[in-house]
Amino acid sequence: MPDKVSVAMGQGSSCWGCFQSLVDIHMNLADVLPQLDIKFWAAVADFKHEHLEEYPDGSIDIGLYEGMARTEEDVHLLKVMRDKCKTLISFGSCSTFGGIPGMANFSDIEECYDVKFRNNKTVKGGEVPTENLPPITDVVKPNKDYVDFDIYLPGCPPTSDLILKALTALLKGEDIELPPHTVCHYCDREKEDTPIPEVLRPYQGKADPDRCLLEQGYICLGSATWGLCEGQCVNKGAPCRGCFGPPPPIHDDQGAAGISMLGSYAPIEPEEILEQVKDPLGTFWRFSYPTSHLGSMRIKREEANDQ
- Across the beta sheet with 5-11, the strand order is 36-41, 5-11, 60-66, 85-91, 151-153
Average pLDDT of 103-113? 93
Amino acid 26: pLDDT: 85
Separation CA 288–CA 117 (nearest Å) = 25
Is the pLDDT at 121 greater than 60? The verdict is yes
Q: What percent of the chain stands above pLDDT 90?
A: 75
Residue type at position 51: H
Is the pLDDT at 231 greater than 70? The verdict is yes
Q: How far is CA 4 from CA 33, 35, 150, 173, in A?
A: 10, 5, 20, 11
**SS3 category, 207:** coil
Separation CA 46–CA 304 (nearest Å) = 40
Separation CA 227–CA 246 (nearest Å) = 9
For the stretch 36-68, pLDDT in tens is 999 999 988 888 999 999 999 999 999 999 999
Amino acid 6: pLDDT: 96
For residues 3 and 299, the model is more confident at 299
Handedness of CA 196, 241, 162, 145 (dihedral sign): positive
Amino acid 250: pLDDT: 83
**SS3 category, 268:** coil
**Torsion region of 298: left, alpha or beta (phi above 0 gives left; psi -120 to 50 gives alpha):** alpha
For the stretch 250-270, pLDDT in tens is 888 999 999 999 988 888 888
For the stretch 19-33, pLDDT in tens is 989 888 888 989 999
**Torsion region of 155: left, alpha or beta (phi above 0 gives left; psi -120 to 50 gives alpha):** left
Is the pLDDT at 1 greater than 60? The verdict is no
Question: In the structure, what pLDDT confidence band is assigned to residue 2 with cuts at 50, 70 and 90?
Answer: low
Amino acid 3: pLDDT: 77
Which residue, 43, 130, 54, 139, is CA-closest to 92? 43
Amino acid 124: pLDDT: 84
For the stretch 176-225, pLDDT in tens is 999 999 999 999 999 988 888 899 998 999 999 999 999 999 999 999 99
Q: What phi, psi does 246 have (nearest 5°)?
A: -70, 155
**What's the mean per-residue pLDDT of the chain?**
93
Does residue 91 contact residue 66 with C-beta atoms inside 8 Å? yes
**SS3 category, 261:** helix
